[in-house]
Every structure is written in C-alpha cells, then in structure tokens.
Structure 1
Amino acid sequence: MSRPARPAKLLTAALAAATFLALPATAAQAQEAEPKEQYAPTMLVLDASGSMAGEDPSGGTKMDAAKRAVHGVVEAAPTGSQVGLAAYGTGTGNSAAEKARGCQDVTVVHEPQPIKKDALTKAVDGLSPSGYTPIGKALQVAAEQLPEDGPRSIVLVSDGEDTCAPPEPCEVVKQLDGRGVELVVHTVGFGVDDAARKQLTCVAQSTGGTYTDAPDAKTLEQTLPRVTATALRNYEPAGTPITGTETYDPAPAAKPGQHLDTIGQKEKRYYAVDVPQGATAYFSATVSFPRLSGVSMTDDINSLQLRTYGENGQDCHEFASEMATRSSDGIPLTVATTWKGAIEEKTGETNRDRCQGGGRYYFALEWATVSSGVPERLPVELLVGVEPAATETGPVAVKPKVEFSEPSGADIPVVGGGSFNVAGVIDGSHTYADTVQRGEFVFYKVKLDWGQGLAYRVRFDETPKDGTRTVSNISTTFYSPYREEIDWDTTVYTGEAKTLPANDPAISTVPVRYNNRDADVRDARSQSVAGWYYIAVKVSPPHTDDGTAPSVPIKLDLTVTDEIEQGPSYQFASDEDRKNGPFGGQRAPGTPADDGDARSEANQVNTAASTSMVSTTGWIVIASAGVLVLVALLVGGLAVRRRKTTQ
C-alpha cells in the first residue's frame, strides 16, 4: 500500500502532473568512531585559449572574469576538500603553424590535493590566454589527475567549441564512463554559441553532470562556485565492510553503526543483530542506482524488500518493501524497519515466542525488482541502531504542533549538502537563503532537543520563464533523526515564485518527546527522539533539459521553539555501555556536546556558506546513508515510492 497523504496535497500533485519521489526513511545509529565528511576530488578545467583575451560585456577580459570566479571557488572551498586546476591554451599562440602543439597544450596548474588556497589563487592569477581549445585532451588529462577509485568530478569552463577534435569531448567522457570510471563532469558555457552549448551539454549529460549557461562575467562569478559545490557533493558509499549470507544461520552480526556490502540482482542477503531485552532495533539499507539513458518507463522499476526473523529463523511477519520508478534518474532507494519485538517478554516455547524478548534477530534484504541496464551488483549501505530500554521517559501527553511565525531580520546564507551526511546546518528562527541547481536534491539539518519543535516553509523565487525549458518539479521532504519521512509537499515550478507547502502555512512537528512513539496521533510518532532533523529540497531537471535552465534561489523560513524538557534515562547494561551511550559511542540525541552546541556549529557554517560553497561541519550525531540525489522530472509520468509493512 502506498504512504497516505493529505487529500489537498494529492490534489495539488495530480492537477500539476507533478512527479514525486520521496527519499525513503532510514534508521541508524552512530559508529564508534565518528565519520568524517567526504568530498569528491575535483579538477577545475579552465579555458585559457586566445578567445578568452576578448572583452567581456561587463568590462575587462573574459579571462579576468574567469579568474575572479575561480577566486570565489577557492575562498569558499571547505577544509579537507581536494581541488585541482588544469588550463588549456596557455603555452602557444593560435596560428595554423602552432596547431599541432597547441592541441596538446594542457597544463596541470595544481594537483587535486587537500586545498592550499594561497597556492591555487596564485596559480590561476598567473595564467595568460593565447592558444587553442583542446577540450577533449583537457578532459583526458584532468581525469588522469584524479584518484582511480571512488566518485570524482571535473568542472569545465569554456567560451567555445573544441578546436582540436578529435578526440571529440563527448566521446572522451563516454569512453571513460565505459571503463567504469565514477566520473561526473559539470560544464559551464561562458558566453557560448549554440554549437558550443550543444557540445558542452553532451559532455555533462553523458556523465550525469549539469550544463550551466553563464552569458556574462557577473553570472560566471555567481555560477562557478555553485557548480563546484555540486561537484564536491558527490558521495561515496561508506561503512564498515560486512558480507551478508544466503541463509540466516551463518549471518554476520552487525553492530550498531554503518556497514557496507554489495547486493546482486534478485539476491537475498542476511544480517544478524543482537538486541537486548527491552531495546528497540533499527535496520535500514540504501542502494544508489546509477543514471542511465534510454530506459523505458515500463522497464525502469527497482524494489528492495526487508524481512525480520527471530530465533531459529522464525518469520516474525515484519515485512517492508520500497519501490521506485524512474530509477534511471540516478536515485537512492532505502528500505527500513523498526523492530520492537525485544520490548516484549517471552511467554513460552511457541513460534511467536521466538520473535519476542532479547536475543539475536535476523534481517533479510532482497533486491527484488530489477530495472534494465543496471549493473549486476551495487553497493548497499546498512544502518543498524539499538536503543536500550528507557526509564523516566518524561511527559506522556502529545502537545499541539508548532505554529509558524514569520521570521524577522536579514536572510542568513546557507548551502545545502548533497546528502544527509553533509547537510547544511540551520539553527533558530530565521530565513535562510540558498540556490539550488536544476537536478539537485539538497539537505539541511536542525537540532531539536527534548520538548522542542519546528515549523518551516520553502519559497522558490522567480526565474526567467521559457516554456517547457523551465518547467521543473519541486518538492520538500522532512525527516526525523532516523531518516523516517515525517511530511512532504510537491508541485510544478514554471519560473513563477512558489511556496511549499502549497496549502498550509508550514510543515511542522509536535514538540519532541520520547513517549510520542506510542501516541494515538500517527503524525506524532516519528518525533520521539531528540537530535538532528532534516529538511530536503528538490528541484528536478526541466521538462526540456538542454542544461540552460537557470538555477533557482530559495528561501527557507524556519521557526524553532525554545522550550526544553527533561528527556528519558536509558537503562544501560554496564558502565561501558553508559559511557558509549545508547547510540554506539556517540552522545545520545539531545545530550549536550563537549565541543559546543548546535548554535555555535550553525553559526560557523552559515558564515562560511556566505561564500556559496558546501558546508564544512562535522557529520551528524547519528550515522547516515546520504547519497547525492539527482532526480529527473517526469511530466505526465509518475515517480513513486511505495511501502508495505505488516506485523
């Protein structure tokens, strides 16, 4: 059965013919060692051909504008990111006699090492434009500078077509993709004509990247840091290696935290989790499907299924299934379950008794429905959480939802992350400003302590309208600390200003209380744990996706209540467990941090975000399974996620 939604929202979606693809809920606990952010190693490739010496309409040369844009990238680059720089056209002139040498003229100015901002700024300032435009060769050289394994990115800025082909730039990236290279190329056309735009769009779309038009210097300076932020948002699946088994009895025991395995088509994998008496277990699995082209809608469906088993492999009749159409858009699919059987006491030697009380439980994951064109095996992130029994659980009654209040004061710049892992931090009742590229799904996080709640809305600002070229699906989704979806809304964006939710003042929570999990009010049950809550904002690619549709400025209006209540006390089995806390070595949600609270962290991030780059905050309190999400628009089609859970 599909997840219920309010009638007004269903009507909005139907009338708009909008595509909705929700990120499925997940549940997780932190690893013993706190993970660190991962940024995709990225090479900037800069056009320094002779045409870049020409004047820009806004004044100065095109090269001057490009240098200023790179300065913006460097200034905003997060600590720990690996950003390199290559340039073509600096070593020769552009006469016919110099073409053979000029078409090999690609210089690696700075290797993609942990960024040294002064060195990179000095290097770009020393470039002088003069030669040819060997884009294909430059892409080959840039790819060679990047690591051999894992996601990596290239951001290419050019003011014209390749003047040296072959190799054709689009063929170069297709060959790299054919060798299994996890490479995404984003391209920026700086005052280009239609032929160059077509070539640069082909390069980007062949790798799942984005093409962006920058008609003048001002646009380039605004665009390049944003495009580079998108490149750095690439996420590599991570976790402690684990290998599931074909049957339950030899299944490996997965401790609380994040694990990494692979799963094959139509394959079932078993994992064991030890759950103490009175505890609640959380188990989720996330598979990120690659972007593919030419897949028909009827053959573009994937599903994951998750079953829970008890002692001696007894079926506990807990079944969760997640399905998504249009998997070829490059989506992640997550299936999750919350297992409460260990809370109950064993009563006897019956089959039901094997699914009650403390003991070892087994979770079987199956890639049940497979779309065409996908690899035989894909990485899968497994998230395990074990929350011990609680005493002194706090207030019982569910309070009303938080009322939205119009924020006051100046907008605060913030940059959303491409996954739960690198979500941009927001804090307090303010308006936060960001810009979302077409095809991005970005995440923000806000910490709620016991007794606190929030309300928010997202405003999508106006952009130039150009028929179907600017028609995109937009959505916002709200998640609990366990990645459980709390609420959502979606509509179609045509370039006119829009606000989500469309039919309510805001999406809001009840105040967070432990006992909300047992509330009669369904919408309150997911607000039962203090910690990081997540707001996701999506802008799909436009219906006619030629890469030229403008990015969309957004405003996120947030209300957070100030009241804090006493939280629960957990029942620990030992002093060591008490030291580690209920979440595997991390502090429990809602517990004050030793290194400063959420407010100081948010202030640091939002200051950095004013330079339009990915935030550099630490990872979330609870381990997460974020992945970069680039979800394509289906006009007249439907991208759905369906869940069926039976106990």
Structure 2
Amino acid sequence: MDNEGWRVMRRYGTNGRHAGHGRHAGYGKFGRAALAAGAALCAVAALPEVASAAGTPNPYAFAEGAKSVTGTASNTDAAKLEAGSTYKSTSAREGTLYYRLELDAKTNAYVSVTAVPPLGTKVAYGDGVTVSVQDGNGTNCSSGQARFGSATSPRPITAWASRRIGPDKTSCQESGTYYVVVERTRQGTSTPGPWDLEIQHVSEPGLAKAGSTTPPETWNSASPEPLSGDPQRRTGGTSFNDAVGLEEGVWSDRVKPGQTLYYRVPVDWGQQLSARAELGSSADDGYVSSALEIALYNPVRGFITRADTPYDGKQKSAALEPLPPVAYPNRYETKDDVSGMRFGGWYYLTVHLNPEMAEKYGQGPIGTTLRVKVSGTAQGGPEYAGTPQPADAFGVSDRDKELAASGGTEEEAARSDTMRLVAAGAIGAGVVLVAVLAVWTLTARKRAAAAPQGGTPPTGYGPPGAW
C-alpha cells in the first residue's frame, strides 16, 4: 500500500473520527471499511512475484508457502508432518533423517520425498533416496526408493512410502506415532554437498463400507493406437507444483540436455491413461543410450512406471506400458504399475533429456512431442468415511478439466482464486465506504438544518472538513 493509503487509514481509523479528535480504542464503520480496503490492497501486494527472466532459474520450483522442517538424526525429537501439507527440508549429507506422523487407525497416509541436488553437482548411478514409514517398533509399513540410474544428471528424483489400513495388512494398523525415515545414499565418486528435499504428506480416509479387495484380473492391456494430429504447444513446468495441465491430445515442447519437464493429466476413476514421448530428429549424429525418459507418478507423487529410448539423430519414441483403469482395488496388487493406479486425480508425467546429449548435439533444446490419451468413461469414486487432506487430492473436478484444457498450473489457479477474493473484498469495502459517506452526508445536512442560527455543529460526526 502507498503512503497516501496509510495516511487515509490513520486519519479515519478511530471510530470514524479524525485521529486528532477521538480517543476510542475501537474502529468505527468507516475505519473498518478503510481497513478492509487496505487489507485487500495489501493482499495484492503480498501475492508471489513472477520470477524474473534474468539469471539461472531454480531447477525445481518448490511449493509456494511450503513450511521449513528439519529432519533429525534420531526419532526422539522428530518434527511432525501434518496431513495435507508440503514441506521443504535439507539432507546435508548421506545418512538418515527422521520426521514424525500422528495417525489414527482408520486413515491411510502417503508421504513422498523429492530430492533436488544442486545444478553442477556430480551424481552416480546408485545415488538416491529411500523413504520408509515405520511404526514405534521400527517395523517398516512400506518403503520406496529412487535412484539416478544411467542418466546421471543432478535432476529431481522422487520416492514414496505409506501406512495403509486394510484387511490384507497385519502390521501398522494401530493409531499412534509413526516415523518417516529418509535415507540418502551416495557413492564415492559423487559430490557430497547438501540436497534440498520437498516432502508431502497426503491422507486418505477409509471407506464408509467395505469393498472388494481383489484387483481387476482382466482389463484392456493392448498397446493403444497413438494419437495423431497437429501438436499444440505446451511448456512443461520444473516441478510437481508448476506442472502444466494437459488433456488428451498431441503436445509439443522443447527440452534441454539435463532438463526435466513436468506435466499433469486429470484421470478420473474408471479411466485409462496412455502416454508416449518422442524426440525430434537432428542434423547432427552421435549415439546416446537412455537419451529420453518419460515417467509417470500418481496423485500422491507415487512412482508408477517409466520408459526410455536411445538416440542417434533420428526421431525416437518412448511409450509407457499399458496401464489398468484407475480403480480403488488396484492397491491390492503387488506390481507398481497396477497398484499405483489406485486414485482418481492428477497424474504427473515427467520428461527428462540425458545431459550426455549436450556432447553430441549441443546445449540447445530439442523438439519433443507428447501423445496423451485418456480412454474410458469416468465413474463414481469410492465413498470415503471422511475428507482427504488436501480435500481435493482424489477425483477430477470441472475445475481440473478446465485447467487441463487451458494448460493452467495449480499455482496459477491458486493465484487466480486469491485475486478473485481480493477483488470481491475490495469491491465490498468500496461499497461500504460509499454507503457510509452517503449516510454521513445526509446526517450532517439534517444536523446543520436543525442547529440554531450561528450555532456550532456537534463534533464527532463525518469526515474532517464536512462542517
């Protein structure tokens, strides 16, 4: 807010009187309206700034408003992770970090950890992170790991683990304190510096009534015919948080060596997703193994599957293996590419270009094409006995479909929502101000008419100068 705005608030901020006239502690109608308008202006000023084009961008856009949390070397003083929240932390070196969960005996808990090494550091084939959820006796409820593998570039990698309630489980079913255990592994040839971590905790309520615990035995597992048509341009994001929305279609982009691009696709209950990434041809030549990789993550950032392709200057493609339709009972399957398809919601696609491509084809970006298909009719989801955290974690809304059609990101949608609230608040405050001034003017005229000739009008009414 500018200085004039604050002067107005100071002038009229006490019971509708000039600051020099009133000693009341409370705010009058005019003061509250001015404060409301001021708060609306301050809210606009407080909106996150758009990153400048100058300078080197961060390789991973962390969630806006992510809380900072410190992992501890022992579980005894581990910080608590709240359901529905996203956190930023740091792994200073190889070793184990602990975080705490407080869980009931009815709710499923999912925790994902995205490790982000700094640009320019060296990573090795076996470097990565392992994430586990453990009970108070050190029993693993589940665990997952992510490794850099053959594409040894310092890119974001994500692992997930869960505490799931279910008739097929015998351990980790009680309410109480659980621990998220994050272990960073490093080989001797890699850089020993710190990695940033993004940690997300999502909760899923139990079902209102018991359902099937048998995953679908048959489904259309034939490789789908890839979509054709003119590609539309969409620029991928740098993280789960700014992943650009896609609907079914053919999409083009450009990716640099060492870069990872993020996209997201709404896939509802009963629907089936297929995706293929293609790398355009080049006038240069040279062989690079695992040049282009496409990977898929579910709505809680759980890894599902990946595919890659070598490159020799000719156009190449990498397609995900056929996946089952989204269904709640998929979680009872042991295979990752089936069990991961257990929620309706946003599914994330990442496209990564091997940094070795720079040696053979230069540092510039190479054209890519994404062919995304969503087949099947959306069905009603399971009846939960509570509300997930975040509340919109599972299922596809009309808003999600609009974001996919427009290419919007969740952060852009959040800013848009904030702006609408600010606008509504500002308009409301303006209406109040106009109405109050009108009442003051009418009151002043009546009092002036009623006052004796030459008399002094009462003080404490209307803005200064009205008399």
Q: Find the counterpart in structure 1 of residue 372 from structure 2.
A: 558
| Structure 1 position 331 matched with structure 2 position 155 | yes
The SS at the match of 2:296 is strand
Whether contact under 8 Å (2:79, 2:100) holds in the other structure is yes
The 8 Å contact of residues 151 and 355 in structure 2, kept in 1 or not, is answered as: no
1:569–1:499 CA distance, 2 compared to 1 (3 A): same
* 1:240 maps to which of 58, 63, 67: 67
Q: Which structure: larger Rg?
A: 2
SS in 2 for 1:541: coil
Q: What is the root-mean-square deviation in Å for CA atoms of aligned residues?
A: 3.6
Distance 1:387 1:397 in 2: 19
Q: What is the TM-score with the length of structure 1 in the denominator?
A: 0.50
Q: CA deviation at 1:445?
A: 1.0
1:496 Cα offset (Å): 0.5
Distance 1:550 1:563, change over 3 A: same
Q: What residue number does 2:113 align with?
A: 285
Distance 1:391 1:296 in 2: 46
1-structure distance, mates of 2:123, 2:377 = 52
Amino acid at match of 1:432: W
CA contact (8 A) 1:279 1:343 kept: no
Structure 1 residue 516 corresponds to structure 2 residue 322: no
1:265 alignment partner, one of 89, 93, 102: 93
| 1:390 counterpart SS class | coil
Instruction: Report the CA distance between 1:563 and its aligned residue.
Output: 0.3
Looking at structure 2, the residues matched to 550 and 376 of structure 1 have their Cα atoms a distance apart, in angstroms, of 28
Q: Which of 179, 186, 204 is the equivalent residue of 1:362?
A: 179
Q: How does 1:121-132 map to 2 (within 5 A)?
A: none
Match of 1:602, SS?
helix
Change (3 A) 1:368 1:433: closer
1:460 Cα offset (Å):
2.0
Shift of 1:514: 0.8
8 Å CA contact 2:60–2:116 kept in 1: the answer is: no
When residues 589 and 619 of structure 1 are mapped into structure 2, their CA distance, relative to the original with a 3 A threshold, is farther
1:362 corresponds to which letter in structure 2? Y
For the 8 Å contact 2:112–2:301, the answer to whether it is kept is: no
- Note if contact 2:202-2:300 (Cα within 8 Å) is conserved in structure 1: no
Residue 315 of structure 1 pairs with residue 136 of structure 2? no
- Which of 397, 400, 425 is 1:598 aligned to? 400
Does 1:304 find its partner at 2:129? yes
- C-alpha distance in 2, partners of 1:344/1:236? 36
Query: Residue 394 of structure 2 aligns with which residue?
Result: 589
Q: Residue 260 of structure 2 corresponds to which residue in structure 1?
A: 441
Which secondary structure does the structure 2 equivalent of 1:563 belong to? coil
SS at match of 2:241: helix
Q: Distance in 1 between matches of 2:407 and 2:356?
A: 30
| Cα separation, 1, equivalents of 2:278 and 2:329 | 33
Q: What is the deviation of 1:379?
A: 2.7
CA distance in 2, matches of 1:232, 1:269: 24
For the 8 Å contact 2:290–2:310, the answer to whether it is kept is yes
Structure 1 residue 244 displacement after superposition: 2.9
| Displacement of 1:567 | 0.7
After TM superposition, the structure 1 = structure 2 runs for residues 174-573 of structure 1, keeping only pairs within 5 Å, are 184=56, 231=57, 234-236=60-62, 239-256=66-83, 257-292=85-120, 301-311=126-136, 313-316=137-140, 318-324=142-148, 329-340=153-164, 342-343=165-166, 355-369=172-186, 371=188, 374=191, 376-392=193-209, 398=216, 399-401=219-221, 404-428=224-248, 430-467=249-286, 473-501=291-319, 507-519=321-333, 523-542=337-356, 545=359, 548=362, 550-572=364-386
Question: What does residue range 17-28 of structure 1 map to in structure 2 within 5 Å?
Answer: none
Deviation by residue 1:106-141 (Cα, 9 ceiling, x = unmatched): xxxxxxxxxxxxxxxxxxxxxxxxxxxxxxxxxxxx
Q: 1:326 to 1:538 in 2, by over 3 A?
A: closer
User: Residue 331 of structure 2: SS of its match in structure 1?
Assistant: helix
AA at the equivalent of 2:160 = A
| CA distance in structure 1 between the partners assigned to 2:334 and 2:139 by the alignment | 28
Percentage identity across paired residues of the two chains: 21
Deviation at 1:530, TM superposition (A): 0.4
Check conservation: 2:271, 2:375, Cα contact below 8 A.
yes
- 8 Å contact 1:393–1:515 — kept in the other structure? no
Distance (Å, rounded) in 2 between the aligned partners of 1:541 and 1:464:
18
Per the alignment, do residues 357 and 329 of structure 1 end up closer, same or farther by CA in structure 2, a change over 3 Å counting?
same
Tell me which of 21, 25, 50 is aligned to 1:81: 50
Q: What is the Cα deviation at residue 255 of structure 1?
A: 0.7
| Partner SS state of residue 597, structure 1 | helix
- Divergent runs of 4+, >6 A: none
Runs of 5+ consecutive residues of structure 2 not aligned to the other structure: 1-47, 416-467
- What is the identity, as a one-letter code, of the residue corresponding to 2:389? F
- Relative to structure 1, the CA distance from residue 253 to residue 417 in structure 2 (aligned partners, 3 Å threshold; closer, same or farther) is same
Q: How far apart, in 2, do the equivalents of 1:254 and 1:424 lie?
A: 27
**3-state SS in 1 of match to 2:367:** strand
Residue 367 of structure 1 and its aligned partner are, at CA, apart by 2.8
1:211 matched to which residue of 2? none
Distance 1:393 1:615, change over 3 A: same
1:290 Cα shift?
2.2
Q: Could you tell me how far 1:449 is from its partner in structure 2? A: 0.9
* CA–CA distance in structure 1, aligned partners of residues 392 and 205 of structure 2: 14
CA contact (8 A) 2:111 2:160 kept: yes
Return the alpha-carbon distance in structure 1 between the equivalents of residues 77 and 251 of structure 2: 50
Tell me how far apart the structure 1 counterparts of residues 50 and 412 of structure 2 sit (CA, whole Å).
12
Say which SS state the counterpart of residue 569 (structure 1) adopts: coil
CA contact (8 A) 2:242 2:410 kept: yes
Gaps of at least 5 residues in structure 1 are 1-78, 85-152, 155-183, 185-230, 347-351, 573-580, 607-613, 621-647
Structure 1 contact 412–432 (Cα < 8 Å) conserved: yes
